[in-house]
Structure 1
Amino acid sequence: MTSHEPVLPRIRPEIAALPPYKQGRPADPNGFKLSSNENPFEPLPGVVEAARAAADFNRYPDATAAALREALGAKYGVDPEAVLVGAGSVSLLQAFIQAAASVGDEVLYSWRSFEAYPGLALIAGASSVQVPNLPDGRHDLDAMAAAVTARTRVILLCTPNNPTGPIITSAEFAAFVAKVPADVLILLDEAYAEFVRDDSAVDGLAERVFEKHPNVVVLRTFSKAYGLAALRVGYAIGHPRVLDAGRSTVTPLSVTATAVAAAVASLAHQVALDERVDELVARRSALVEGLRDAGWDVPDAQGNFVWLPASEQLDATTVAAAFDAAGIIVRPFPEGVRISIGEHESVEKVLGIARSLRA
């Protein structure tokens, strides 16, 4: 009796070759998971209770997330129609890319940057155009502007850049947008905006860049500073007619009522949020200072993570393995290792391992 392999459906070759998203594994009970840029603090006061009260599991959520759009509109002084809510900002990135780019089109971004960018472009059928980061981990905006062609449909700008850490300044952003055709969609990915302490950094919402430039959409998330990573809720703010394209391509009903209730409740605790973010920024500063003192060439860190560039002496795999052996899970990339800012106790442990590696 012979066995036969089943006949499987045909899959696009580029999708079959696309590696699935690989999540960092959990840390041991006495270790620290510093691989996913998660917030070590619990949700803000009253948020869990608000989420539980909204858990009407047998009913579909409001597809427009109106309560959250109204709250965000009030916070940023925009019409709710200028706000689009999605299941994390990455789902909104995907929706806008699918709306604007297809086969034969190009999606332009700095590299290395957010690891989802290449896959999102590929899924849409578009081609990726990757412009190498500057040596200090920043976007090379002059080179990116020079790489724009008649086929460019979407430009992704990540500030602070994940995983390297530096920001794009207001002056750099203004100069860049002036060079880009007005019919090219620019997605300003500000997932870590709350952690920025560089006064020169572009702030897409405070500067209302989407009003000056209708082709710019600003994206943010509740996963990082607000500590709602498990609930998957992010938002985009931009020109309502541009957001309509995202509304057409985003997965319907993907934002749960629980997530909306938790996000709305979180917005009511700005003081507590600021205190927590300030504490994480203080830990980040201590970590950066200690790493540099130990001889690591750490770029400017403006997110809730730090970046250890790989070298001939210390490749990313070796560095990550040393942390893993000590019970600390970090995120290795070919070019370096990203370490999230976690619990207070983790800072000195990270520094101890980093010092031993340099020694």
Structure 2
Amino acid sequence: MITGFSRRVAVTACSLCVAGTLALAPAAASTAHRAGDPAPPGPRASVPQPSLLHRSGTQVKLRRGAPEVPDVSALSWLVADADSGEVLAAADAHRELPPASTMKTLFALTVLPGLPSGMRHTVDYRELEDVGEGSSLVGVEEGHSYQVADLWRGVFLSSGNDAVHVLASLGGGWQTTARKMQAKARSLGALDTHVVSPDGYDADGQVSSAYDLAVFGRAGLRNPDFARYCSTVRAQFPGDGWPYQIENTNRLLTGEDGVAPYPGLIGIKNGYTSNAGNTLVAAARHDGRTLVVTVMNPQEGGGFAVYEEARQLLDWGFASAGWVDPVG
């Protein structure tokens, strides 16, 4: 289950000792041992079995007559009910992979609540000097004044790393923001994520997982500001003298570049880097039910395969209602 508060437990000899004591002490105390009787067998501590979601390969529990899970090429993927947190199916859900700009979901969860949307800020050149080469940009310029809401639209629609750098500066600085993001991930039970660059730019050791990204997406939808930004298709962004239009780069939301828009799509976040490939965490709502899917690095089908594989998984998730048992 994606709860936002689940934990993976590393079992050590010591922790087994403690667990055995807590679980077995009452039963041992209730049995008296008389002199001369054979000694009772010692307690047997049961070792917790790993969740199905920690196993490799596709994990699903289909009932008789259930639709077959789509055969997709992503290195890792997950389909979950956003309301209950039940994972309907997944493949290598905890595999640690570069997340690209889907890391911005965790960035927003961490920084957005502390910055009033109407606050204005004049950008200093130092806030932009470390933006990674080749980064996606929304067009933030030094010396210009922006509302925080403008910058968030730049993050969610244009995946602007320039906007992320400015917001991170307002949130305490780049490294401080990375540490806060790491703590936020841990607090949500997302233990596969290691934050190095808050904008998702390729960095040594920076990873997340399909499970963790679904946790971030689900948590984000509970924040009205996050939900509004991630579902916005188009907006005006302040420019040099007059605003210009920006458009969400999530093709399942906009229907651009020949990708058909997905009915009921709420949004969330897509990403791409040469190291991560194409990544996506998305949510859609049909008939009062909301699903969240993560797709990480499809190996076939070109740059837009991430959307088509997400479409297949969403279709399956809605069609399988009542036909599958959760795997986590």
- Does the alignment reach a TM-score above 0.5? no
Normalising by structure 1, what TM-score? 0.23
Task: State TM-score, norm by structure 2.
Answer: 0.24
